[in-house]
């Protein structure tokens, strides 16, 4: 388990340009493969399927974060 904040750039659908995305701490046990990314500019959350992340095409999907009750 690491506390390192991961970051990368994606084409943000809201900013309509490449923006820096950071990965919030994952509480879902995804670990390195966590698909959750958030734009540091507008906060848009992207769900990035890691099986596509290494390919030429990165499939992104806008997700709406619902408050989660544990
Ligand atoms: Zn953005
Ligand atoms: Zn996760």
**Cα–Cα distance for residue pair 48/8, rounded to 1 Å:** 12
With respect to residue 52, please indicate whether it lies within any of the assigned structural domains: yes
pTM greater than 0.85 (yes/no): no
Of the bound ligands, which one is closest to the alpha carbon of residue 32? 2
Per the structure, the complete domain to which residue 42 belongs is given by 7-62
33 DSSP assignment:
G
CA of 69 to the centre of ligand 1 (A): 27
Distance CA(19)–CA(39), nearest Å, equals: 7
Within a domain: residue 2?
no
> How far apart are the CA of 47 and the centre of ligand 1, in A?
13
For residue 34, the model assigns a pLDDT of 84
State how many domains the chain has: 1
% the chain with pLDDT above 90 = 33
């Amino acid at each position: 388990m690491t506390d390192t904040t991961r970051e990368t750039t994606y084409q943000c659908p809201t900013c309509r340009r490449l923006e820096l995305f950071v990965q919030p701490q994952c509480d879902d046990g995804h670990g390195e493969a966590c698909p959750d990314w958030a734009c540091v500019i507008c906060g848009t959350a992207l769900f990035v399927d890691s099986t596509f992340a290494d390919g030429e095409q990165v499939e992104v999907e806008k997700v709406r974060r619902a408050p989660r009750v544990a």
